[in-house]
Structure 1
């Protein structure tokens, strides 16, 4: 029963920000100013993915240098990444799916995990492993709001963070679902703004996102 051990911790993190930005760092120099810009706009929970070689270094820099940031690690796909991310300063993890090896790694590392699911059967499998907070991924291809509303009845004890295909224009629709605590999105960190060092734009996007709230 992994997630059950961290139920309150994971849920508290999900409820801290209505939107969790999905961050891919291509230039390590962007890590700290980006995190500061997001926190300044009211978005404190940051998911730094391991999709680039700078992922762990960015997590460490944000965790050490950005007060108020709650830094997590995303795109966990291999068991050995859990301990490395925890040691870098991550306080939670996010995975695109869930396997027995990832469950074991979450348990051994002590890193609270928000695992990805796409179908009702995957939700039930994750629940049997002790998880009650899940990431619906990819949310829009998985059925979006319709899927979330449909499974809210038979799987009423699950709280979701839908991620994948969500934008500022559709986020409110997802947050209106009774089984959604927050959403994940990459629109808060557009690549052009990062490359230009336009941190004011990032803060503006974060401010707009922080004003969204789950029902």
Structure 2
């Protein structure tokens, strides 16, 4: 078996990115393969979201290469940051790198609290974050964040309320306090779709 780039890439085909679960070869996260005699140095790009797992992935990469490359190969693995641009997600049109959904079939279990904590944690890590409160009947994100202002409309698009550099949208911004929402079925689904599609979220992480 020759020690060349195709051989190294084939050896890495089963190495999965911890964030996306996809092969690092297919997602072009193998930034460089340098072969000098019996030494193979691989530069692997991982996103900042998976930073806590970088060392674990580096060790797995080293193990795969050691087991699959010719005997005696001096394997070296470097991990660097891999930039992944925000992409248009689905048919709604939100542009983001990742979407985290927090849900439960039961009310009052802390969904909004967890969502808010995640938003602030990611913001503190340097991410551009949007937080959408999809609870139409009992929105609590405005109360949790201490926000009472209403979103504005610019050129037909809703401008999310900004709180601590987090872009926020909630039915609680649009319905007067104490007033119940009686929407059902298509109207309810349409409101959530509008929050996603017609809000100027910008590019999010």
The answer to whether TM tops 0.5 is: no
**Structure 1-normalised TM-score?**
0.26
Query: Whose helix proportion is higher, 1 or 2?
Result: 1
CA radius of gyration, larger in: 2
Higher strand share: 2
Higher relative contact order by CA 8 Å / sep ≥ 6: 1 or 2? 1
